[in-house]
Amino acid sequence: MKTLRTRSDLRAALGSMGAGVEVGLVPTMGALHAGHLALLEAARAECDLVVASIFVNPTQFGPGEDFETYPRDEKSDARTAKAAGVDYLFVPPVKEMYPDGFQTWVEVERLSQGLEDDARPGHLRGVATVCLKLFNLVRPRRAYFGQKDAQQSAVVEQLVRDLDLDVQIRVVPTVRDEDGLAADRVALSTEPRLPPEDVGLARFNGRLHLVAAARVGRTRLIDNVLLEGELA
């Protein structure tokens, strides 16, 4: 596995690949866990070459969320990525992705409304923008996202359709502990340290989800259960 930190190095590395090589992209913000491993394993099984990105994207942080204290452990993440079969690990600094003078943003209008956008204004605009940049840099055949972030996955799917991008979005089922996660307001309300912010039904790109969100300190935790439809 090779770690790359600049857009030019990434393009040069991928440009040396022969024709017909199918690239899989797994975008992450690091702090890799079992859910990320499921994405990496799916990419490794389906693609010739796997690129994983670790970029704590400042534009995904809403008001009151502390970008500076987001967990970062590049050495541990690199070990995890290497063990999962990643070929290239892209770890750019913020100024590499948002150089001085950056002023272009991508916004998926209707799908970005409500839920995460209400709680974290601008979050999904940041997701859409950085994903489009990564798609343009990596030119993957497939990109992998987790079901847990249902609204985010739907936004990225819509982005790909609307802008005619030649990439298949794969949504991988959520990895859970044996006891799963309760997702109804009554159960959440019995825990005083975990007051629910959102519990309800949401339909994204034809898929019906039971969604829930709660906040621990300044961290917003989200989950969902797919009730109707199929993952991409």
- Annotated catalytic residue within 33, 36, 123, 209: 36
Task: Taking the CA atoms of 215, 221, 225 and 230 in sequence, report the sign of the dihedral they define.
Answer: positive
Q: HSE-up of 11 (CA within 13 Å, CB side)?
A: 8
Give the pairing of strands 207-216 and 196-204: antiparallel
What tokens does 17 get?
């690949």
Residue spans of alpha helices (H) in 92-184 = 94-97, 116-119, 123-138, 150-162
Tell which phi-psi region holds residue 79, choosing left (phi > 0), alpha (psi between -120 and 50) or beta.
alpha
Active site residue 36: yes
Q: Which residues are catalytic?
A: 36
